[in-house]
Structure 1
């Protein structure tokens, strides 16, 4: 089963990730990225990694307005001003394994090398219902 892990940055509960990335040293940023790269490589070796990518903080919400001019809204932030900083697709045997891996990825180091306890949204891919044939 494939799952999408969405990396939420900001908007976490008070006391979680109190050190925004713009306060990190260049080495702390490098260590954080290296952790995620090592995590992905380990999952590649087990066949559980599908794909992943960091996302730029720029973006917007766009939707069809019925008149040919889609409105563009400040974004890519939901009402909470969360930023989806990146994503990873994994292919694992169970929901429990997806949650286990998301918890591990949430421990990526941040300021002072401490785990940032980043919020990750775990979403299963929608699959087609089974087809009944007679």
Structure 2
């Protein structure tokens, strides 16, 4: 088994096919999207492939090491930015192919009008320690 991060980008480049900003979705469309995500996670819990996942609020800040002084903090990212991380899911699957298959399915979450948003997901394997050589 290998763990993968499925990183959900809101209106990232290239833009999703169903490119209606979420702030213009109806409450019913938002509920349908969230239900799809919940059902997807529940199904993966049953197969043992779900590890964790969270949606992220659009508000945030950037922080950078500032030496001995307090680190500088800059407001952002903001929802009008080109690429905002909307959430993530960690899966534990048998193969890279399975991670790609699940990411493709997650990309079909419904959006405006109930149409799949065809959202781009970043699929990243977790870094694992190199094998230990013993003699």
Question: So what's the TM-score if we normalise by structure 1?
Answer: 0.91
> What is residue 10 of structure 1 aligned with on the other side?
11
The answer to whether 1:93 aligns with 2:94 is: yes
- Report the secondary structure of 2:42's partner residue: helix
2:44 is aligned to: 43
**Match of 2:86, SS?**
strand
Counterparts of 2:23 and 2:66 in 1: how far apart (Å)? Answer: 36
Q: 1:14: Cα distance to partner? A: 5.0
Extract unaligned runs of 5+ from structure 2. Answer: none
1:112 aligns to what? 113
Distance 1:4 1:15 in 2: 19
Match of 2:28 in 1: 27
Matched residue of 1:68: which SS? coil
How far, CA to CA, are the matches of 2:44 and 2:96 in structure 1?
Answer: 16
How far does the alpha carbon of each residue in 1:37-64 deviate from its partner, in whole angstroms, 9 at most, with x for none? 0000110111000000101111011110
- Structure 1 CA distance, aligned partners of 2:110 and 2:3? 26
CA–CA separation in structure 2 for the residues paired with 1:17 and 1:28: 13
Change (3 A) 1:67 1:106: same
Structure 1 residues without counterparts, runs of 5 or longer:
none
Q: Measured at CA, do residues 28 and 119 of structure 1 come closer, stay the same or move farther in structure 2, by a change above 3 Å?
A: same
Q: Shift of the alpha carbon at 1:76? A: 3.2
Retained in 1: the 8 A contact 2:53–2:88?
A: yes
Counting matched residue pairs gives 132
